[in-house]
Structure 1
Amino acid sequence: MALEEYAGSIVMEIDGKEVEIASLNATEKTGRKLVKTMNKTGRAKGFSRGIKEYDLSISAVIPLTGDIDWAAIEGAKITQYPLSTGGQRVSYLDCFAISVGEKYTVDNEAMRDIAMGALRKVEE
């Protein structure tokens, strides 16, 4: 049986500049919604199509100097790709910051939690 390699750590870039992050969660909402109707079967009959949404949740370490102004991000291109060669690049286009928070704990480094939205997703 051949040994298979799987995706591991990623590199994240904002407008071509590498950013130090601890985690990235990307969620694609399909926009589909359940359509409920009153009928004798007592169940829904189908769904309607809506608008796709892309949500990004990023945890970034807070550097002592040269931190990004996360709250000011509008119209950015965020690209993530595998640290190892041969993986696929995924870009989120026209990204904008929704909320920015800070997190400090006893055992870990200080983190900044950023919620972002994107208008498009492109696999390169």
Structure 2
Amino acid sequence: MSDDELVGTIVLYVDGQEIDCASVSTNLQGLRKAVKTMNSKGHANKSASTTSDGSIQIDAFIPKKGAVDWGRISGATVIIESQDDGSYREVYSGVGVVTVGKKYSVDGEATQSLDCFYKDYVVE
């Protein structure tokens, strides 16, 4: 597999504004769940479809000027795409910020830790 077959650096956009970030992590949870039943085996042997929900964790750098007011983000669109040619693109819509934290360290830049949820997800 050559290097041009892999997604490299990504660019993060929130409502059309490019955001400088250190990392982005996404999770989709709750597609199925185990259903506990009383049986001779002593373990769950059934499953059911459930309502899914997704989350995004972003570590964004804190700019000196023009910082995003993350606490007001509700119903946003977050786009993650490959930097080189835009051939890889994920779109998360209905994004809301749940928590905002800040991290300062001696050896690094100041970042904001954002925990968000999303309502819909599409790979283009």
TM-score band (shorter)? Answer: over 0.9
Aligned residues: 123
Q: In the alignment, which residue of structure 2 is the partner of 1:3?
A: 2
For residues 54-89 of structure 1, the C-alpha deviation after alignment (integer angstroms, 9 at most, x for no partner) is 100000010111000011100000000011115221
SS where residue 41 of structure 2 aligns? coil
Alignment of 1:1-124 (within 5 A): 3-5=2-4, 6-85=6-85, 87-124=87-124
Residue identity matched to 2:94: D
Runs of 4+ in 1 over 2 A off after TM superposition: 2-5
Change (3 A) 1:10 1:96: same
Residue identity matched to 2:64: L
Q: TM-score, normalised by structure 2?
A: 0.93
Q: Distance in 2 between matches of 1:86 and 1:92?
A: 16
Q: Percent identity?
A: 33
Mapped contact 2:37–2:46 kept (Cα < 8 A): no
SS where residue 39 of structure 1 aligns? coil
Greater mean deviation of Cα atoms: 30-39 or 73-82 = 30-39
- Structure 2: which 5+ runs fail to align? none
Q: TM-score, normalised by structure 1?
A: 0.93
Q: How big is the alpha-carbon RMSD for the aligned residues of Structure 1 and Structure 2? A: 1.3
Residue identity matched to 1:67: A
Q: Distance in 2 between matches of 1:66 and 1:80?
A: 21
Q: CA deviation at 1:45?
A: 1.4
Residue identity matched to 1:31: L
Q: Distance in 2 between matches of 1:14 and 1:117?
A: 13
Mapped contact 2:93–2:121 kept (Cα < 8 A): yes
Q: Distance in 2 between matches of 1:76 and 1:86?
A: 20
